[in-house]
Each structure stands twice: as structure tokens, then as C-alpha cells.
Structure 1
Amino acid sequence: MKISFKYISYFLLFILGLSMTLTSCTSDLDVTPKDDDEFLSDTFFQDPASYKQVLAKLYAGLYVGGNDGDGSPDIFGLTGDFSSYLRLLFVSQEFPTDEAIIAWADDGLPAINGQQWSPSNQFLYGIFSRAFYEISVANEFLRQTTDEKLTARGVDATLKAEIVKLRAEARFLRAFSYVNLMDLFGNVPITTEKDPVGFYYPEQKTRAEVFAFVESELKDMDNTLVASGANEYGRVDKTAAKFLLAQIYLNAKVYTGTERNNDAATVCNDIITGSAYTFANVPYRFLFSADNNRNGAQKEVIFPIVGDGNAIRATGGGMSFILHASIGGSMNAADQGMNGGWSGIRARPEFVQLFPDATATADKRGTFYTNGQTLDIADYGVFTNGYAVKKFTNVNSDGTAAQRNDIPDTDFPMYRLSDVYLMYAEATLRGASSGNTTTALGYINKIRVRAGAGVVTATDLTLDFILDERARELFWECHRRTDLIRFGKFTGGSKIWQWKGGVKNGSGTEEFRNLMPIPSKTIQANPTLKQNPGY
């Protein structure tokens, strides 16, 4: 058992009596029922165990889309597997980029492959809805855990002290969703526990206002989050909040128009030198194996999205999607610890070419499957067009089998210390006065030595190199779209890859596509929302 939260989360909202829908205009984008008699939160929270159960639901929502794994979906109109947060992050952060492409013709996926989406794209509606769903659950938890409510329920001092920490975790998970919304959609509503539960239109805020809100939250929660490394595995601590803060500082020019590179480098240095997380001196593949919670890789994973084949019944969400969909062609699914493949995701050739070879010889991170696959993607609807990727596996690092072969045990490393090294180096190269080039070079070479890629010199350390190294180290970890935008290479014609723009050889795309459109269904629900330019 990796985290006890998993076993208490999936039935929760049934007990709460919440009717999850995003089709009308109410508080928190209407996540509470229209009939007040249905809302049973006050009754539910009479049980002292309920507080941890609600937080468990928040964590579970990062992986699964319903109260029974993929079943009993949280969001009206979206199936549980389709609305998995991790799955939707992967779709929106990887498929529009040079790192990945998917063969499936589901309505909306080809458009994402080619950066040709519209406001009606169901996958964009999915990620928008899932993020606000998480925000809504966090808000209700915070409403129900005020000192006044806890005192009225007769909660004892010991539990009250524990709830202070749980509230900080709920605020972090809310901030995590706001960062994703700010990154993908720009100007979005902000709702908090202070907003009323009832009929009203949430007010849309500017991207800079969302940034300021998140920054303030992350700084403030440092006072109440658990100390670095002191929480249960799978739960966040002070270092996770600092990581998210460093991340938004590095992207501040995109989000607010003002660079915060010095702040980014300062926070990164604080994590590297003052946290409980250390670089994992294990083979690179250990970080993505079924036992990555205990094989040494966990030392550098600051925020994992936890998987467990027995506890998490997600047949199509989270890592089950990533692993199943990346197996096809002549691949033996058993080699990846799975019971079959869905012939979906491959790497685009431009990404493969960032490595010295496709055999993981000169760089162990280049884990491609090439047998029967073509590097060239003449038809992205054919799985054997494009090299397959074997980065994630549902096999333990010693070669033994995971718990089962239909649903993986593999945890998804949302935040890693290696990423902090790379952020520090980039912020330093972008002029951070608190950064040091020699120190940055040492961090980069530490990453490369583990990969067997060989060391680089100070003259090699350029921004273009950092972008490529981020791809080599962090590919398929839901960062690429954000990275390319920060470097000015996501849209336009300065960086072209196959099927960008919807054509085989790639073409430039409109700059307005650096932002996704506000989903049309959301605007129908709240007509005060303004659509992003170009859509």
C-alpha cells in the first residue's frame, strides 16, 4: 500500500450528495446540487474521519475521474476515464508539441495534434472542467473546516491541529489547478471558500490577477504545510509549494509580462540546498518503473501522482492511459508489464533527433521502440508511423512483475528535483543575479552523467541547450507545451515539427494559439466570460 488515502476516497462524493455538473451558472461553476436538501456536507463532516476522506478525494481526483475509478464520473457529461486529470494534462501538454502524437481519431484529438483546436474541443472542455471540479471540492473542504465550524462540531484540539495541515494541502491542490488553468486558458474565474454557495456568475480575472492570487497562496501556506519530506508519501509538503512557486516565477514573463527569473533561481536554490529531497543516484529507468515509490527514485520526486493497480480502479485514466496507449505494433505488451496495447501515442521524429541515437546507447533516456516503426510519420493515424516510447513501465526495477497487468502501479512524477536543477540553470542563463553559472553547470552534468550522456562545458550551456535538455530529461512528464511557449517556439514558424499546423511536413501556427480557447460550453454556462483573442 503506497498511500492510505487511496482506499478511502472513491465513495466520498456519493456520501456528500454532490451532483457534479458544469452546465449552469452557480458558485464554483455549479458543483453543488440545485436542491439544497441534497447537500449533506454538514452532516457528513460530523464524522471526524471525514476530513481526511475529503482530502483523499482531492488527491484521487488527480488520477481518476470518478468515485469508483473510472466509474461514477465526477463531472456530468464526461466519462470517468475521459475526465482523468492526469490523462487530460498529458493530452493538452504533450500532443500539441514535438514530443508526442496520437493515432486516434476521437473528435478533437486530431485538432490537438495539429494545433487546430476550436472552443468546442471536448478535451479542452475536459481539462477546464476537471481543474474547476478540483477547485470546487477544495473550496467546500475549506468552508467546512473553519475554526467556527470545527468548534461548533466539538472537534478536539488534536484533530483541529491536524486539520490545519489538511487545509494547507487543499489550498495547494487548488493552487495547482489554478496554475494549470492560467497556463492553458489565461483569464479565468477565481472562486474561493469565501464565495457563496448559490446562483451567481463567477467573475473572470486577468492572467496577472490569477498569478498574483496563486503566488500569495503559495507563500502563505508555507506557514502551515508539513515540513519538507515529513508528510505521507504521495502528499504534498512545503517543498511542493516552493516548486510550484519557482515554476510560475520562471513563466512569469508569459503570465504577467514581467520577468521573475531572480525569484525563480532563489526558490530553486532553497529547494536544492534546504529540502529533504536529493538527486536519485539510480538508473534513469528506475524513476518510471512500477516500484518507483521505493526503489530509490522516490528521493527526488517532490510530488508524485500515485498509482496502484489494486487500489486504483482506473482502466482508462492516469498511467493506465499513458501505458496502454503507448503500446502497439510489434511491441510485446508484457515487456511493459501490461496486458495489451491501444496503439495510440508515439514520438515525433524531431524529438527523437534530440538524442544521439534511438537505441539508448549514448543517452539512456532515449527509450524508443523502433522494430517495425518508421521514424517518419507519413500518416499519424497509423501507429507504426513514428517511434514508440518505453519510458514508463509497469515492471519493477528488478524485473519482477507488478501487482497486476491491466492497471499499473507506476507513479507519475509530477515534480522532480531534476526539474529544479533545470529551472535553476535556465533562470541563471536568463540573467538571475542569485544564480551561478558554475553551479548550474554542475547540476546539468549531474543529470547527464546519470543518463550516460556525457558532461558538457560552460560554452555548451545556452538557452537552446536547456530547452533540448529539458525535453531529454522530462519528456512525457506534462511540461513541453509550457516550455515551448516560454521559449517562444510553440506557435509560429521558428520551430517546426511534423504535423504541426495539420500538415505532414509541419507549418507555422497562429500566435494566439499559445492560449487555448475558453470552452464554448463554459461560456454558455457563464455568458459574462470573454473568449480569448483569435477564437
Structure 2
Amino acid sequence: MKRNIFAAIILAIACSCSQDLNLTPTNDITADVAYSTPEGYKKALAKVYGSFAVTSGKGPGDSDLGGIDAGTSDFLRLYWNAQELASDEGICTWLGDPGVADLNYMTWNSSHIMLRGLYTRSLYHITVINEFLRESTDEKLAARGITGNDAEQVAEYRAEARFLRAYQYWVLMDLFGNPPFITEDNEIGKTPPNQIMRKDLFTFVESELKDVENVLPEARQNEYARADKGAAWALLSRLYLNAEVYTGEAKYTEAIAYASKVIDAGYSLKANYAHLFTADNNINNPEMIMPIAYDGQQTQNNGGTTFLINSSVHSSMTPSDFGIPSGGWGGNRSRATLPAVFDDASGATDKRAMFFGSNPNIEDPSVFTEGLAITKFTNLTSTGENGRSVNGTFCSTDFPLFRLAEQYLNYAEAVVRGGTGGSNTQALTYLNLLRERAYGNSSGNLSSLSLDGVLEERSKELYWEAFRRTDLIRFGKYTSGSYLWPFKGGIAMGKAVEDYRTLFPLPAADLISNPNLVQNTGY
């Protein structure tokens, strides 16, 4: 078995859960039986994590969500599409698939199926977590005779679950602003959830993370792919870096403080950048803070890195070079603006430039061979062997939710933006550590810092990792006509779009069913 957590996941997620977010997820056995032992709690926690990695417990053809194709309903696939296709980095050829063209062109509305799917997937994950929290209170543990060290272990499980809930509420806050709000204290199925405003949700996420920080295992001490203090600090750093967008109040000093906590916790850069994105990136990876873990045999899913890898490969390439069957899916590739940030898109100098093709320009978005394919993620191991899989399609490459390089970049940006507690010298050192790995020496080192330089470095280091929309909004480059990219606004040369598109709409169907919700401005 590739990872410890999956030994429990396979048992834990093989249950049917209601697709109605106002109902309790239900198993074929009662809660008192499922949670009767410490091992039962670990299996239930595995289901909480498993909701990140699979679309349901019944296999890749089924989904916990209704009204959306099962393969499309995966969390990472939906989140990645929202962050990358709706930005200057990615564009998809599948214009006939529901929702794709509107993300490509930034023309979505409140009935957009993929945005509704992402919103629902995050709320579904929160619902699963809330149920776990209801069943793991001190009172429930005492009633079930779980005491002493076992109870302390379950308290750590609760902290992990609360971290995952804080992460999903951060996703909803970042993308949708003002979502419905439910916790374990809400009565299930009684009344529709109330709406929470973005600023108040920021306060909740911040307080949850700072609370669980004291209970989570020490950084780098939990099982692989599970939350620890390092993950909480990393999300706090990201939260504070974007605080001015979320609340109108800058918190760059706090962003520096929490990035520093991560940096000082013993993580280090993986020597080979490309090996961060291979099918064995779970092994000897000192840079990984927390991933979504995938296994091509145990977590079969047409989303996740299976989607990222297959959709980036076309039959005009050599699919076996990426550890997948012949053909590939031929969907996602770069807009011309992404390879343009590199001085040399061939990867001969900056090895982070991982592209295939010779034509970076796109005239017809439906043609995959226009634009450069991204070869960053692969289902080959670092030694060139195929990753674990049943038929080659499903991939075993983990997706980094948090890694050390982001914290170097967070620190540098927060320093340039005026945060205290850091220094320009240290910020420059962190950026040059990334560049020295990329170039193999100091030939690409920077001698000065600037905001635009930090944004460019974020693009080079983090492209295809679902950061770009959030970054462009924070830098004020997302909607205006001062920064354009191909097909922004639906025209080849790009054009300004409405400022309200810095938030996605709440789904129209949810507004109809929940009178407590008010739509975001512009929709």
C-alpha cells in the first residue's frame, strides 16, 4: 500500500452519503457502531481526507454530488479549472463541455455548472467534517468509553478535521466571498444555513487555524498527507497574504511571521524541481508540507492529477513519456503569456520551464496543438518507471496543496509590501534559493526585489498548481484592461472584464432553495 492513510480510506469511504447538504451523511451502520473504537475514529477521519481524493466511495463513475458528471465533480479538478482556466495561464480545448468556454473567456454566470460543482463539493466536504466533529466531542468519547491516550489521539483527529474545514472555508471565501455557513453546532435539516460575509469568514478561518495550531502534531511529525502544525502555519501565511483582498485590512506582518514559522520548521527544497511532480513525489520530499494524495489503484478518479496529466497530453506527443496510455485527453495547454515569463521556454536555462510544442500562440482555442502543452506533472516516477495504476489511466502523483517554495514567495512578497519582521536581504535570499535550484547555479540570481518581480517568480515556480487567479487579483491585474492575455473577455487580443468577476457567483439553484442567501454583486 502506497500510504498509511489509504489503508483506512478504502474501508471508510465505501458508504453512501446523501447528496443533500442539509442532511447528515449516512452509513449502513449506526454512528455508535462506527465510532465505537479508536480505530473507528481513524477510519472516519480517513473518510474526511478521502473526500479530497475521490468523487465517491463507489468508484470513478459515481459522485457524491448530483447534477454533474462524476469525473468533473472531483475537488481538485474543479478548483484547478477555476484558478487556472480563468487566468492568464491555462486554456482548454473542450469547448463543447459544459462550462469550459465560459472559464476560458471569463463569461460565466450564476448557472455555471463547474462553479456550482466546486461550491457544492467544498460544502459537501464541510458537511462530512461537521458530522465527524459531532461524533468526536468529549461527551461522545466518554459515553463510548474512549479515554486516556485514545481520547487524546481523537482530539488530534478533531484538530485535523477542523483544519480541513478551515481550508475549505478559505476556498469558499477566496472564490465565492460570502457562502452559506454551517458548523457542527447547526441542527441538521431544520433550517437553511445562514450566509456569512467574507470579512466574518476570514475571522472564523483565522481563529480556527490559530486554535488547532496548538493541538495538531508538530510540523513534519504526522503521517504523510495528513495535517500538522506546518500545514496550519502555511495556510495562515496564505490567508494573511490575501487579507487586504478579503477584509480591506493588510496583514503582511502576520504573513511574514507564519511563513517564517514554516521555513524554520525543518523543511527544505527538493533538489530536483521536476521530481516534485512525479508519481513518487511522496518519497524523500522534504519540501512537501501537505498534499492531496492519490494512488492509481486505490483512489481511482478522473479528476485529481489523473486529470492534470491526461488532459495535458495529446496523441501528437508520446503519452508513454508521461506514464499514461496512448492518446492522452488533449485538453489543457498554456496561453502565450505563461511561456513568455521565462527567458527561455525550452527549459535549457530555467529548468522550471516544462513545455511541449513550438507554437505558443493560439488562434483557435479548440485546437490542442496551438499553444504549448505543460509537461510539469507526470505519472512516471523520478527514475522513469510508471506510477502505480490499474490500466495506466489513473495516476499516483500527489498534488501539493502546500510546499516550502510558496512560503519563500509569501515571505518575499509580504516584505516588499511593507510587512515587518522580515528583511529585503532575507527575502532576496529565499527567491535566489528557488532560482539556484532552477538554473543549477547562481547565474540566474536576482540582485533586487520588486512586486512585479515577485509575481513573475510566483508564475515561474507555481504555475499549474492552482494559484494564478488568486495571485492576479491580489496584484490588481485580474479584470482591468491594463493587463491582458489571449482570449481574456472572449476576444483573441484580450479585453477588460467586469470588476465583479473577482468573485464567482453563488449558484442560482442555491439562491432559490435558500432564502438566507444574497447574490454577489454583478450577478
TM-score range normalised by the length of the shorter chain: over 0.9
Deviation of 1:210 (Å): 0.2
In the alignment, does 2:293 pair up with 1:302? no
Which residues in structure 2 correspond to 1:30-45 (within 5 Å)?
Answer: 30-32=22-24, 40-45=30-35
Q: How does 1:93-492 map to 2 (within 5 A)?
A: 93-105=83-95, 106-273=97-264, 275-280=265-270, 282-294=271-283, 296=284, 298-314=285-301, 316-339=302-325, 340-370=327-357, 373-404=358-389, 405-452=392-439, 454-459=443-448, 461-492=449-480
Identity of aligned residues (%): 42
Pick aligned residue for 1:73 from 54, 63, 77: 63
RMSD of aligned residue pairs (Cα, Å)? 1.7
Question: How many matched pairs?
Answer: 517
> What SS does structure 1 have at the residue aligned with 2:237?
helix
Structure 2 portions without partners, runs of 5+: none
Aligned-residue offset at 1:329? 4.7
Summarize deviations over 1:125-161 as a string: whole Å, max 9, x none: 0110010011011110000001111111112423211
Q: Is the 8 A contact 1:70 1:79 kept in 2?
A: no
- The 2-side partners of 1:40 and 1:276 are apart by 42
Aligned AA (2:275):
F
Residue pair 2:14, 2:58 contacting (<8 A) in 1 also: no
User: Is contact 2:68–2:113 with CA below 8 Å preserved after alignment?
Assistant: no
Q: Secondary structure at the match of 2:236?
A: helix
Contact 1:179 1:214 in 2 (8 A): yes
Tell me which amino acid in the other structure corresponds to 2:305. M
Secondary structure at the aligned position of 1:399 is classed as: coil
Which of 497, 515, 520 lines up with 1:527 in the alignment?
515
Does the residue aligned with 2:216 lie in a helix, a strand or coil? coil
> What is the distance in 1 between the residues matched to 2:9 and 2:387?
23
Offset, 1:68 = 3.0
Structure 2 residue aligned with 1:25 = none
TM-score normalised by structure 2 residue count: 0.96
Between the aligned partners of 2:267 and 2:431, the Cα distance in structure 1 is 17
What is the Cα deviation at residue 457 of structure 1?
A: 3.5
- Quick one: distance in 2 between partners of 1:516 and 1:530? 13
- Alpha-carbon offset, residue 14 of structure 1: 5.5
Aligned AA (2:197):
T
Separation in 1, partners of 2:27, 2:430: 57
Structure 2: distance between partners of 1:226 and 1:48:
17
Q: Structure 1: how far apart are the matches of 2:45 and 2:414?
A: 34
Counterpart mapping for 1:79-98 below 5 A: 79-98=69-88
**CA-to-partner distance for each residue in 1:87-124, whole Å, 9 max, x for gaps?**
11111010011111110021111000111100000000
C-alpha distance in structure 2 between counterparts of 1:39 and 1:204, whole Å:
33
The answer to whether the 8 Å contact 1:230/1:237 transfers is yes
Deviation, structure 1 residue 79: 3.8
**What is the alpha-carbon distance in structure 2 between the residues aligned to residue 394 and residue 309 of structure 1?**
9
